[in-house]
A and B are shown apart, each in its own frame.
Chain A
Amino acid sequence: MQGSNTLEKLPVGKDSNRLALRNARQSLNTVILGKERQLDLALACLLARGHLLVEDLPGLGKTVLAHAIAKTLGLSFNRIQFTSDLLPADIIGVSVFQKEKGEFVFQQGPIFSQLVLADEVNRATPKAQSALLEAMEEYQVSVDGTTRELPDPFFVVATQNPADQIGTFPLPESQLDRFLMRLELGYPNPANERELIIGEDRRTMLQSLEASMNVENLRALQSAASDMHMSDALVDYIQALVRQTRESPDIDIGLSPRGAQALAAAAKAHAFIEEHAGVYPDDVQAVFAAVAGHRLKASGNSTYRSNSELCQHVLDSVDIP
């Protein structure tokens, strides 16, 4: 896709934040091999202050990805394994009576972490799911009438296993909207797979992974990403894409205005990560499938087998202004 080197790069110079971002990308790529594109998208998702849904078969490195991101970005990390008997309290926490103090003390649940990995989110009941989704939306939780702020930054990386649907509660479409992006990791290519087989275990590598930045760096990067300027032509392009999703006969439900905002934010973050001088159509195209894929509903007579094909079709039918 990235054809020539015509996309102008910004000189990074001595910008410590940007250098930290570069380092983070490099070290992530040493742990997760051959997935530069997905890693960039995941980073873009975090820089755009969005939550990430990773959908793929087991064993393709979903958990490692989440863990590696937490490590490199220097974020506190918690993992919640979603099961069918998971209760909201298991996620949020619970008030416990302490005899010594003679009062209820709130025991924070695993959600109070800067990066939360919600593993196999579709295994839990809707009730547990909605506790998570509410926290994602509000950046706070309410327990016993007290509102508690979640840490800042706060990311959720949720994973879903699309193949095994028995005994699952798939996330409803309206709630899929809460995730800025949905990614599929896919199988590694043979060379990378060979290296995985021969090389060091990824889990031990994770242990030795050094944080490339601190929270301050991350916050600065987030605001710098959202300050990226979009030209009129680019906004036209985003609007044309959104309109196409609404008008295409292959699509029943197109992008909402929130979807359009998400597309813009993700494109800006992507351009920022790629160190582009401006937000280019290439950035929009790069994030389009990840941002739009889970928000579209193909119509019954659509000939496209998957939503990523559908997204590519949308990209191929809109002129770039």
Chain B
Amino acid sequence: MTKPRGTDGALLHSLPWTMLAMAVSFAAHIPFVPIWITAILLGSSLWRYSVERRRGNLPHPIVRAVLALLCFLGVFFTYDTISGVGPGSALLAVMAAMKFLETRRRRDQFVLLFIAIFLTMSALLREQYLWSLPFLVVSLMVTLTAWLQMSADSTAGIRQSAATGGRMLMYAAPVAIAMWIFFPRIATPFWSVPIDTGSAISGLDDQMSPGDISSLSLSNAVAFRVYFKTDPPPQKDLYWRGLILPEFSGRTWSASDWDTGIGDPPDKQLKVYGEPHHYQVTLEPTRQQWLFALDMPYDWEMKNSFMGRQQQLLSEHPVDQRVRYDVVSFPEYRAGVDINPMWRARYERLPSDSNPRAVALAKEMRAAADNDLAFIRSILRMFSEEAYFYTLQPPALGRNPVDQFLFETRQGFCEHYASAFAVMMRAAGIPSRVVLGYQGGEMNGDYMIVRQADAHAWTEVWMDGLGWRRFDPTAAVAPERVDAGRAGAVFDGIGETWGMSAPSEFIYNMTLTWDSLNAKWNELVLGYGPENQERFMEWLGMDNPDWRKMMFTLVSLVAAFVFLISMLMLYRNLPPRRDPAARLYRRFVKRSGLELKTGETPDAFAARAASASRLREADIVAVTRAYLAARYDPTDENSVAALQNAVSAARR
């Protein structure tokens, strides 16, 4: 038994709107799904439309089945899986494309619009930004309009459907807001969204191999935002420590699991002096464990986080969602003064056969210097005075990258200098390690933006009695990189030497304004978690807010609102108020013990009531006469009063 495949043009009127709803809801996915999925969705919907135009036949079931199978396999082989946001939304889009090809009636269009709503929602699983809200509103609005357009007969105008859709959304908005505010927030989410392993998040890698990357792209994406509670330190001191790389393979700096384990409490690892910086960091998801802080963090506030063995802050779980934490950092410190000899050996280890020329040079220079500090100074001087260049497009390096960089290419960015510097330290028997993090930041109103382009690498060197000290060899080569900050460099023309072209200042300021809006949105809306909720509830005057009280408030609010809307609708559809005469007459009818039949005139009722009711006939006649006069004879002035008297008199 096969279903008929013919079309009759009945959907011609509503199909374009369904297609528009699908297009809008899918728009948010376009950058994230493979291009062939967009092509299939577009193609099948246009195909379907042309079938309707020609009053043609839908594709044969076998064709559809084969297409569906191919699409499914396509998704499977593109992602290697079908779970997760990416494959999930791709599958949804493919399903929508296939559904178009079998849409014959209104019922099928319902399914299409359901898919559109699913697509809209799944876009939110991927990321939620400020623009997600307008997108959500527009998408729902278009879908609702398409829905109404489909349900209405073909004479209904689009404007009418849109108005109705808008009204429905407006009715729904207060309920949604109440739910958002009062639905109890739980610290651990009910479910976790499977993260796409394939999609790369720009930012720091967990290891560093100078020479592998021959070009560093500058991403303007925000790494984190910082609210300073004390005066922010100057640009040149803005070193946001992230991860520490103690191990060197001759080519790659890396950290082991041991390095990211829990270290001693801060007061055991650090001695701090001077004026601390108080600040709050809002970190974008990195899907890594490390947290960024100015050196050196001493006190911080965040659940499930700890200080690692190298004075770095770490989260127990990868940061999959935007997190916020308060930190107190001290610019003056003594870190790891009493170093464990075993650890110390690790910080001095170099692969025996790698980079021999660099090792030899370091030994020679150390011999020429009086002490460690003089040795360090001489290396920094070498970087700044000899022909070393800072560039974002350095040549690729071969087997002994440090040798090659130091003696041949002499061009590189922070990673190259940090790596070469640390290698030379170790060659001279001085413990050293590479630090990855961010340098700088850009004030935007009351907060600082640190972008992916601010990513930086520097070194920490252990000195007797002083512990770990920060040295940034890049600062010796390109001091402006550190002093001016990247943003300043952009407009000083310095940025051009790094391969950046200065954007228009207007656009630049626009992006800053947009970012500050985004930050506010993140803080107030997306960051509305359990703590904020509790604080807000207390501000609203709720004592010891718990989920019961919140649920109670929520349910009462929603019930009250639904009641209000129902009353409004009832009122709008209410028949016009009965006039006083009609009310009095109604009272009389009730008193008679009879029911007024539909279409029964007062005169006819009077005849019936005279024989069947408990009232006296004279009264009945009097009331009916008075009522007819009041209601139908406009010449009678005192008719309502007369009716009132007559009704009052009409008793058993």
Q: Is A198 an interface residue (CB 8 A)?
A: no
CA distance A316 to B607 in the complex (A): 17
Q: Is A229 an interface residue (CB 8 A)?
A: yes
- The answer to whether residues A6 and B632 also contact, given A281-B601, A317-B599 and a CB cut-off of 8 A, is no
Identify which of A4, A7, A8, A316 contacts B599 (C-beta below 8 A).
A316
- Could you tell me which residues of chain A, from 1 to 17, have a CB within 8 Å of some CB in chain B? 1-8
Q: Is the CB of A280 within 8 A of B603?
A: yes
Report B621-635 CB contacts with A as 1/0, cut-off 8 Å: 100110011011111
CA distance A319 to B601 in the complex (A): 9
Q: Is the CB of A4 within 8 A of B629?
A: no
Give the chain B neighbours of A277 by CB distance below 8 A. Answer: 628-629, 633, 635-636
Identify which of A7, A229, A233, A285 contacts B635 (C-beta below 8 A).
A229
- Could you tell me which residues of chain B, from 606 to 646, have a CB within 8 Å of some CB in chain A? 606-608, 610, 617, 620-621, 624-625, 628-629, 631-636
Q: Is A282 an interface residue (CB 8 A)?
A: yes
Q: Is B598 an interface residue (CB 8 A)?
A: yes
Report A308-321 CB contacts with B as 1/0, cut-off 8 Å: 00000001111111
- The answer to whether residues A318 and B602 also contact, given A3-B607, A277-B633, A278-B628 and a CB cut-off of 8 A, is no
Q: Is the CB of A4 within 8 A of B621?
A: yes
A241 — nearest CB in chain B belongs to which residue? Answer: B599
Give the chain A neighbours of B636 by CB distance below 8 A. Answer: 277
Q: Is A116 an interface residue (CB 8 A)?
A: no
Give the chain B neighbours of A5 by CB distance below 8 A. Answer: 621
Identify which of B606, B631, B635 contacts A6 (C-beta below 8 A).
B606
Q: Is B543 an interface residue (CB 8 A)?
A: no
Q: Is B353 an interface residue (CB 8 A)?
A: no
A280 — nearest CB in chain B belongs to which residue? Answer: B632
Give the chain A neighbours of B603 by CB distance below 8 A. Answer: 2-4, 6-7, 280, 282
Identify which of A1, A234, A316, A317 contacts B632 (C-beta below 8 A).
A234
- The answer to whether residues A318 and B599 also contact, given A3-B608, A6-B625, A8-B625 and a CB cut-off of 8 A, is yes
Q: Is B337 an interface residue (CB 8 A)?
A: no
Interface centre among A3, A229, A280, A316 (most CB of B within 10 A): A3
Q: Is A165 an interface residue (CB 8 A)?
A: no
Q: Is the CB of B598 within 8 A of A319?
A: yes
Give the chain A neighbours of B597 by CB distance below 8 A. Answer: 316
Q: Is A279 an interface residue (CB 8 A)?
A: yes
Q: Is the CB of B598 within 8 A of A3?
A: no
Chain A interface category by residue count: 20 to 34
Identify which of A280, A318, A319 contacts B628 (C-beta below 8 A).
A280
- Could you tell me which residues of chain A, from 262 to 321, have a CB within 8 Å of some CB in chain B? 277-282, 285, 315-321
Q: Is B121 an interface residue (CB 8 A)?
A: no
Report B580-616 CB contacts with A as 1/0, cut-off 8 Å: 0010000000000000011111111111101000000
Give the chain B neighbours of A175 by CB distance below 8 A. Answer: none
- The answer to whether residues A6 and B633 also contact, given A280-B628, A316-B599, A318-B599 and a CB cut-off of 8 A, is no
Give the chain A neighbours of B635 by CB distance below 8 A. Answer: 229, 277-278
B40 to chain A, nearest CB (A): 46
- The answer to whether residues A280 and B601 also contact, given A3-B607, A4-B607 and a CB cut-off of 8 A, is yes
Q: Is the CB of B629 within 8 A of A321?
A: no
Give the chain A neighbours of B621 by CB distance below 8 A. Answer: 4-6
A244 — nearest CB in chain B belongs to which residue? Answer: B599
Q: Is the CB of A278 within 8 A of B629?
A: yes
CA distance A32 to B253 in the complex (A): 122
B284 to chain A, nearest CB (A): 61
Interface centre among B600, B601, B620, B624 (most CB of A within 10 A): B601
Number of interface residues of B (CB under 8 A): 28
Give the chain B neighbours of A317 by CB distance below 8 A. Answer: 598-599
Give the chain A neighbours of B605 by CB distance below 8 A. Answer: 3
Q: Is the CB of A8 within 8 A of B633?
A: yes
CA distance A229 to B407 in the complex (A): 114
Q: Is A95 an interface residue (CB 8 A)?
A: no
- The answer to whether residues A229 and B634 also contact, given A4-B606, A280-B601, A282-B604 and a CB cut-off of 8 A, is yes
CA distance A201 to B610 in the complex (A): 42
Give the chain B neighbours of A2 by CB distance below 8 A. Answer: 603
Give the chain B neighbours of A6 by CB distance below 8 A. Answer: 602-603, 606, 620-621, 624-625, 628
B479 to chain A, nearest CB (A): 86
Q: Is the CB of A231 within 8 A of B634?
A: yes
Q: Is the CB of A7 within 8 A of B634?
A: no
Q: Is the CB of A316 within 8 A of B601?
A: no
Q: Is the CB of B602 within 8 A of A281?
A: yes
Q: Is the CB of A3 within 8 A of B628?
A: no
CA distance A285 to B628 in the complex (A): 15
B610 to chain A, nearest CB (A): 6
Interface centre among B597, B598, B629 (most CB of A within 10 A): B598
Give the chain B neighbours of A7 by CB distance below 8 A. Answer: 603, 628
Q: Is the CB of B610 within 8 A of A8?
A: no
A1 to chain B, nearest CB (A): 7
Q: Is the CB of A315 within 8 A of B599?
A: yes
CA distance A44 to B332 in the complex (A): 111
- The answer to whether residues A4 and B610 also contact, given A280-B601, A285-B601, A315-B599 and a CB cut-off of 8 A, is yes
A319 — nearest CB in chain B belongs to which residue? Answer: B598
CA distance A233 to B599 in the complex (A): 14
CA distance A229 to B621 in the complex (A): 23
Give the chain A neighbours of B606 by CB distance below 8 A. Answer: 3-4, 6
B622 — nearest CB in chain A belongs to which residue? Answer: A6
Identify which of B607, B617, B632 contacts A233 (C-beta below 8 A).
B632
CA distance A231 to B620 in the complex (A): 22
Give the chain A neighbours of B602 by CB distance below 8 A. Answer: 6, 280-281, 320
Q: Is the CB of B631 within 8 A of A233?
A: yes
B650 to chain A, nearest CB (A): 13
A1 — nearest CB in chain B belongs to which residue? Answer: B604
A275 to chain B, nearest CB (A): 13
CA distance A321 to B598 in the complex (A): 10
Give the chain A neighbours of B634 by CB distance below 8 A. Answer: 229, 231, 278
Give the chain B neighbours of A231 by CB distance below 8 A. Answer: 631-634
- The answer to whether residues A318 and B601 also contact, given A231-B631, A278-B628, A278-B629 and a CB cut-off of 8 A, is no
CA distance A316 to B597 in the complex (A): 8
Q: Is the CB of B608 within 8 A of A319?
A: no
Q: Is the CB of B633 within 8 A of A278?
A: yes
CA distance A282 to B628 in the complex (A): 11
- Could you tell me which residues of chain A, from 224 to 279, have a CB within 8 Å of some CB in chain B? 229, 231, 233-234, 277-279
Q: Is the CB of B598 within 8 A of A318?
A: yes
CA distance A6 to B620 in the complex (A): 9
Give the chain A neighbours of B624 by CB distance below 8 A. Answer: 4, 6
- Could you tell me which residues of chain B, from 391 to 425, have a CB within 8 Å of some CB in chain A? none
CA distance A128 to B633 in the complex (A): 45
Give the chain A neighbours of B579 by CB distance below 8 A. Answer: 233
Report A69-105 CB contacts with B as 1/0, cut-off 8 Å: 0000000000000000000000000000000000000
Q: Is the CB of B599 within 8 A of A282?
A: no
A10 to chain B, nearest CB (A): 10
Give the chain B neighbours of A279 by CB distance below 8 A. Answer: 632
- Could you tell me which residues of chain B, from 84 to 102, have a CB within 8 Å of some CB in chain A? none
Give the chain B neighbours of A234 by CB distance below 8 A. Answer: 632
Give the chain A neighbours of B601 by CB distance below 8 A. Answer: 280-282, 285, 320
B633 to chain A, nearest CB (A): 3
- Could you tell me which residues of chain B, from 220 to 268, have a CB within 8 Å of some CB in chain A? none
A sample of 29 cross-chain residue pairs with beta-carbon separation below 8 angstroms, ordered by A number, consists of A2-B603, A3-B605, A3-B608, A4-B603, A4-B606, A4-B607, A4-B621, A4-B624, A6-B606, A6-B620, A6-B621, A6-B628, A8-B628, A8-B633, A229-B635, A231-B632, A233-B582, A234-B632, A277-B628, A277-B635, A278-B628, A280-B603, A280-B628, A280-B632, A281-B632, A285-B601, A317-B598, A317-B599, A320-B599
If A8-B628, A285-B601, A316-B599 are given as contacts, then 17 extra A-B residue pairs at C-beta distance below 8 Å, sorted by A number, are A3-B605, A3-B608, A4-B603, A4-B610, A4-B621, A5-B621, A6-B602, A6-B625, A7-B603, A277-B635, A278-B629, A278-B634, A279-B632, A280-B603, A281-B602, A319-B599, A320-B600
Closest 4 CB pairs of A and B: A3-B607, A278-B633, A6-B624, A278-B632
